[in-house]
Structures are given as structure tokens and as C-alpha cells.
Amino acid sequence: MKQALLVLMAVCAWTRLAHALITGTSPYHSGMRTVSPHTHRGSSLRRQQAVTMLAEKDIDLQVLKNQAGAATKAKTLSDSTRAFYSLWGAIPIMEPYRRVVDELLTAAHFAKVDVRFTYDPIFALGFATVFDRLTDGYPPGESEKQRLFDCLAKAVDEDPSKMRGDAQKLKEWVTGKGGSSEILSAFNAAKPGDKGIEGTIESIKANPLWLYNRVWGVGLYTMMEMANTEVTQESVTEWMSALDCNYKFGGPKKCFTDYTVWSANLQRLREVQKVFKEMEIRRKKDLAEKLEARAKELQEKESKLGEPATAASTSQEPAPVASGSESS
């Protein structure tokens, strides 16, 4: 009963962590900044804020209309889900990992179907980080875990090898810098014509319609952690300001809010993983004890069966014949 309760608690915690990535499933809702209670969508203050932002950054909303008009019909979530399971096959995915797969697939799908979405290595790092941390200790083993990643990436029309490669290149780029200050300097120094990671940074800065999403946010947190930078509202604002993302859809406030949810649930996940490992150790110990007891029982049965056989063979030996009895 106690083990069943622990398993139920573990599944619930895993589900909460995965679901935290996609709170607010609409891509347009998830990307927008929250409106203060006193600032209503149709108020003059709201309109003035929008006009000021657009005037300062010279955003041409006609670009967004053109992108939407040129876009092909967006895939539905059902399409992405069917694509995943057709690639994966009929092999069942055990809980709680099946829930993790569904939630990550949903998060990536809704990020990608927005016409403002642009793939970059930060998104790739976020996708890989979410997957690796949520599937840590996947029982079927590393080969099946890698196949699971491949199917997820392909289901949202991404190349899994490219995503892994881009994530690794970004990690190497971050570790090759001398910490947060050098990374921020590289962000600020990025210019048109740059290649590699610097080119990615410039493309984010130059895109007035760049859209934040939660998977990308995890990539940014991972970069900050690798640079030994504490993730706070101030540090997130500083990093996103260097990427010229402060005024864009999403912004640092939403990014940090998502981080608080992510980090809190990640801590719960570590506790749950510890419980799972303890349960697995206990299960293996119980199994070993049962096997040992069974082997001992069989050994005792064999020894008991062997004793009568020995006695019978001894009793069947012919008695010695006395000399002279036949002659008489």
C-alpha cells in the first residue's frame, strides 16, 4: 500500500513538472505578456503603450500579416501526436514517461505552429534539456531513450541529429566563454553577417516579431546555469536585454515566471527520482532474497530426495554367502 502511494505521488509530481511547460496551451496566449489588473486591453493607457512600443522599435505589423498569409495550413496537435505514434510504433510507454512525452510534444507543437516561431540553437538546447531531465533513468535503457527523442523531434518536423548537434555546439560555445560578462559582451557585439552562434544572436536581435516560448526559455536558463549565473529577474532581464528581447512578445518577466515554476517542479522531480531509485533498490533486494530463499528450499528438497535413494541402494546389496553351506 505504501509503495502504491509513493508511485502515485511520483506520477503526479512528474505530470506537474511536464505540464508546467505548457500552462496556457494557445500559442498566442502563451507568448503574450500578462495584462495588469488596472490595464485593460481596450483602455487608452493600453493603446498608448502599444503605440509607443511600435513607434520606438518601428515594428511593421504588415510583416506579420504577410507571414501569416504565406504560411501553409498549420498542423493540428492531433497531426503531431499521430506522427509521433506512427514513428514510435505500438510499444507502450510506461507511466510517468508517457505523460512527459505528451506534454513535451504539446509544448513544442504550439511553439512551432505560430507563424512568428524561428528555430535556433537555444530552442534546441531547451528541447534537449527538458527531454533529458524528465526522462532521466528511463528503464528501457539509453537506446530506447534516444529513439524516443528522435520520434519526438521528427513529430514536430525537426531533425533530431541537428537538434542534438546544435544543442552541443551551444554548450561548447558557452563553456568556451569566460563567464556571464563575456557571453553578454558577445551578445551585444553580434552584428549582421556573423556566422554560428553569433549569427543566431544577431537574427534574434534583428527580428522585431521574435516570439518567446517556454522551451526556448529552458534553453536560456541552461545557458545561464552553465555560465554560473544565478537565475533571477534581474539576470534574466540583463540577458534578454542583450538579446534585444525585452520589448518583444513574452519578455523577461514571463521568462522568469516560467523559470520559477520550472525550478520548483524540477526540485520535486529530483525528490521523486530519489524515491523511485530507493523503491527500485528495495525491489531488487526483495527479489534477491526471494531467489536466495527459493534456491535454499530447492537444495533442501534435493538433499531429502537423495537420502532415501542412498539408503535403498545400500539395502539392496546381496548378503555374503557362508562358506560350506552349499556343500552340505
Most confident of 150-154, 248-252, 270-274: 150-154
Summarize the confidence of residues 185-212 as an average pLDDT: 90
More confident residue, 3 or 23: 3
Residue type, 284: K
**Measured between alpha carbons, how far is 201 from 11 in angstroms, rounded to an integer?**
38
Write down the pLDDT at residue 32: 37
**Measured between alpha carbons, how far is 135 from 150 in angstroms, rounded to an integer?**
14
Cβ neighbours around 75 below 10 Å, total: 16
Please, which pLDDT band fits residue 303 given cuts at 50, 70 and 90?
confident
**Predicted confidence (pLDDT) per residue in 160-184, tens digit:** 999 999 999 999 999 999 889 999 9
**Predicted confidence (pLDDT) per residue in 24-77, tens digit:** 433 333 333 333 444 334 444 444 444 444 444 455 555 555 655 555 677 899
Write down the pLDDT at residue 65: 59
Average per-residue pLDDT for the chain: 78
Write down the pLDDT at residue 175: 93
**Measured between alpha carbons, how far is 23 from 318 in angstroms, rounded to an integer?**
90
Write down the pLDDT at residue 28: 36
pLDDT exceeds 80 at position 205: yes
Nearest alpha carbon to residue 30 among 306, 328, 323, 258: 258
Sequence-ordered alpha helix ranges (H) in 190-250? 196-206, 214-226, 233-242
Query: Do residues 226 and 281 lie in contact, with contact meaning Cβ atoms separated by under 8 Å?
Result: no
- What is the residue-wise DSSP string for 131-156? HHHHTTT-TT-HHHHHHHHHHHHHHT
* Helix, strand, coil shares, percent, the chain, to 5: 70, 0, 30
> Which stretch of 64-68, 79-83, 150-154, 224-228 has the lowest confidence by average pLDDT?
64-68
Please, which pLDDT band fits residue 91 given cuts at 50, 70 and 90?
confident
Query: Do residues 256 and 236 lie in contact, with contact meaning Cβ atoms separated by under 8 Å?
Result: yes
**Measured between alpha carbons, how far is 107 from 97 in angstroms, rounded to an integer?**
15
Task: Tell me the three cell numbers of residue 53.
Answer: 512600443
- The single-letter DSSP state of residue 103 is H
